[in-house]
Amino acid sequence: MSKPRLIIGRFAVAAVVAFGLLAMPQTASAQRRRAQNLERLLVLPPAPTDAADSVYVLELAAAVRDRLSGRVRNQITVITTEQYCEALEASGFDCGFLPDESSSGQLAQFLRADSYATGSFERASSVPTVRMRLVDIGRSGIAGWLFAQGEAGQTAADFARVISDSLRNQVRAGQEARNCSQRRDRSDFRGARDRAERAFQMYPNHPSAAQCIAYVFEATQQPSDSLIWAYQKVVKGDSLQTRSWERLARLYLEAGDTLDAVEAFNSQLDVDPGNRELRVQVVRMWVDLGNHDRARSVIDEGLAPSSEDFQLLQLRATTCFGGQDWACAVETLSRMYEANPDLIGDSIFYVQVIGASELAADTAAHLHWTEEAVTRLPKSLSFWRQRTGVLAGAGDDAALLDAYANWAALDPTDTRPLLAQVGLMVEAFEVDTSVAPLDMAALMEIQAMLTTIESMAPDDASATRSLAVFYYQPAQKLTQGQVRPDIAMAWLEKAMQFDVDGRLGQAPNFFFGFATLLQLSKIFPEVQAAEAPFREDASNTALRAQLCAVLTRYQETIALGIQRMELGQSVSPEAAAQIMPGLRQHEGIAGQYSAAYCAN
């Protein structure tokens, strides 16, 4: 026997059909068999799971053909190995051709078989096992499944006996199924049912016999329950019959059994996975039943060979949303975006994926998609607002400030982005001159933004409360750092002005008193500077007025500082007890200067 060749695909069989038809001679014996009107059965070699068994399955198939032919010669015609090989060799192939499931059907049709046997072969611990499917393509009645198991180390010839015995029983059952069809055609419905029952005794769910019974039930207008029973037997006998699954499903629908109907359609899809229309129908039925997990499973099976199938991805996204599986929705929408460039810049898509990311609590996806949205649609106020929302908890203050700035630029009437910006800047503002000089630019930027907010929302209570805090916090840091007390005092004054509901308590008063002491150390040298020229020319009224003006400002600052410290001393009594003597000392010095130069 020639060395086997595993030739898979339609091309090989197409070549057989194209060239073998002209090459194969019509023998006298073939003509006699046709005259006898016997059904023709083609036994194909089962596909081995291990290529090392290729020769074994070819020998097995040849032995089955020879043995079965002698046992059923008066019932059917078994296409011989010689005829099988002649058909292949006439087309340029040898007997080592091992067809796949699809090619088997085409080869059977070419050889004018009424049925064919195909299947798989494997060994488990040296035990040969065959699982064969009998396919009826010409009303032969020979259909169903056959399972045969040999013995460890058994030769192909010996194992062929086991398979042949099983096939012989199938042939006998098939003859009864064929008789059922013949009587049904003659409207002998009682006789048809009798022949079908005989087939069932040999094969309880004989698919051809069950199909015959189904036709009888339809012809006699039996209720749907009877038809369902018949088609259940058909698919139990041969689960690869797509039309029977479809008929069963529609019968379930007619009976109002939606769940069993979708299960039947699902089984039909398992047999015909390339049927897109059916797949979509099954998904929608599972969704209607509320079983989104099954729906997604059906979609994923369809996506397995083509992960970028946009229509199926759309259906998957719809299913994810329907089942409120937000992680699934984010993942599916992301795949859709990669598969379809037309979604780039699509605002509706961004709304969907951003919303799903938020509901899924997927921060990484939320960040990614808001960034993608504002990158593609930089003028979208809505997306910039959403971008700030997710950045607020991400720890990227630079990106957050940029997002607030874009929001503010797109809506100049909204104080919220400005307040948010100032809040970040105030939080980042530090005073430690031992490490770095005071950042006056940042301070002035904060002041400018606070001034802008004051003018935009004078009657906004929420903005007012925020202004109080944002003026107070930098002023406190300046005072504690003992730098720019003049700015600290001005901002603390603003803080108290805007703290209308007293949320800051007495803290602004305390730090104002502290800042006053720091500021006095800067004003007192001004007093001394104004005093020096006046001493040299005590009669100069202009010099006197200048000195007294400085003294007045000195005294007013002292008085306000003492007043505020008295109000705020409860914040830190210990610190107040240290600051107050300094203020009193300045008060005494101011009094002496005033009595000496400005008493009149």
pLDDT digits (tens, 9 = 90+) for 48-105: 999 999 999 999 999 999 999 988 888 899 999 999 888 878 777 788 888 887 788 8
DSSP 8-state assignment for residue 97: B
Q: Does domain 10-185 sit in CATH 3.40.50.10070?
A: yes
Q: What is the pLDDT of residue 600?
A: 64
Segment 578-591 mean pLDDT: 95
Residue 15 has pLDDT above 50, yes or no: no
Q: Taking Cα atoms as reference points, which of 464, 109, 588, 37 lies closest to residue 472? A: 464
Both tokens of 256, joined, read 């109002």
Q: What is the pLDDT of residue 110?
A: 86
pLDDT digits (tens, 9 = 90+) for 439-498: 999 999 999 999 999 998 777 888 999 999 999 999 999 999 999 999 999 999 999 999
Decide: 206 and 200 in contact? Cβ < 8 Å: yes
Domain ranges of the chain: 10-185, 412-501, 507-597
Lowest mean pLDDT across 13-17, 47-51, 110-114, 285-289? 13-17
Decide: 31 and 42 in contact? Cβ < 8 Å: no
CA angle centred on 507, ends 503 and 511, rounded to 5°: 145
- Other beta carbons within 10 angstroms of residue 360's beta carbon come to 17
| Residue 35 or residue 170, greater confidence | 170
CA–CA separation, 521 and 526 (whole Å): 9
CA–CA separation, 173 and 34 (whole Å): 22
What 3-state DSSP class applies to 423?
helix
pLDDT digits (tens, 9 = 90+) for 338-386: 999 999 999 999 999 999 999 999 999 999 999 999 999 999 999 999 9
- Other beta carbons within 10 angstroms of residue 215's beta carbon come to 18
At 146, which helix (H) or strand (E)? Answer: strand 144-149
Residue 530 has pLDDT above 80, yes or no: yes
CA–CA separation, 226 and 196 (whole Å): 15
φ, ψ for residue 366 (rounded to 5)?
A: -60, -45
- Other beta carbons within 10 angstroms of residue 285's beta carbon come to 22
CA–CA separation, 565 and 572 (whole Å): 10
CA angle centred on 129, ends 128 and 132, rounded to 5°: 140
Q: Taking Cα atoms as reference points, which of 84, 107, 108 lies closest to residue 16? A: 107
Report the percentage of the chain scoring pLDDT > 70.
94
Q: What is the pLDDT of residue 36?
A: 55
Side chain identity, residue 117:
A
CA–CA separation, 269 and 124 (whole Å): 31
CA angle centred on 206, ends 200 and 208, rounded to 5°: 120
Beta bridge partners of 67: none
Segment 211-227 mean pLDDT: 95
Report the percentage of the chain scoring pLDDT > 90.
77
At 58, which helix (H) or strand (E)? Answer: helix 54-71
Segment 387-414 mean pLDDT: 93
Q: What share of the chain is helix, strand, coil (3-state, %, to 5)?
A: 70, 5, 25
φ, ψ for residue 289 (rounded to 5)?
A: -85, -5
Side chain identity, residue 58:
L
Decide: 348 and 373 in contact? Cβ < 8 Å: no
Q: What is the pLDDT of residue 23?
A: 37
Between strands 76-78 and 115-124, the pairing is: unpaired
Chain centre to alpha carbon of residue 354: 13
DSSP string for 501-562? T-TTTTHHHHHHHHHHHHHHHHHHHHHHHHHHHHHHTTT-HHHHHHHHHHHHHHHHHHHHHH
Q: What is the pLDDT of residue 19?
A: 36
Residue tagged 């980042």 (tokens): 428
Q: What is the pLDDT of residue 94?
A: 83
Q: Taking Cα atoms as reference points, which of 439, 443, 397 lies closest to residue 420? A: 397
pLDDT digits (tens, 9 = 90+) for 237-257: 999 999 999 999 999 999 999
CA–CA separation, 419 and 21 (whole Å): 87
CA angle centred on 101, ends 97 and 107, rounded to 5°: 55
Decide: 23 and 90 in contact? Cβ < 8 Å: yes
Residue 18 has pLDDT above 90, yes or no: no
CB burial class (10 A; 0-12, 13-18, 19+) of residue 375?
Answer: exposed
Residue 32 has pLDDT above 80, yes or no: no
Decide: 585 and 571 in contact? Cβ < 8 Å: no
- CA 83 to each of CA 30, 77, 112, 113, 488: distance values in angstroms, whole numbers, following the listed order: 10, 12, 12, 12, 107
| Residue 19 or residue 325, greater confidence | 325
pLDDT digits (tens, 9 = 90+) for 259-288: 999 999 999 999 999 999 999 999 999 999
Q: What is the pLDDT of residue 13?
A: 42
Segment 114-128 mean pLDDT: 92
What is the average pLDDT value for the chain, to the nearest integer? 90
Residue 24 has pLDDT above 50, yes or no: no
CA–CA separation, 415 and 452 (whole Å): 9
Q: How many residues would you count in the chain?
A: 600
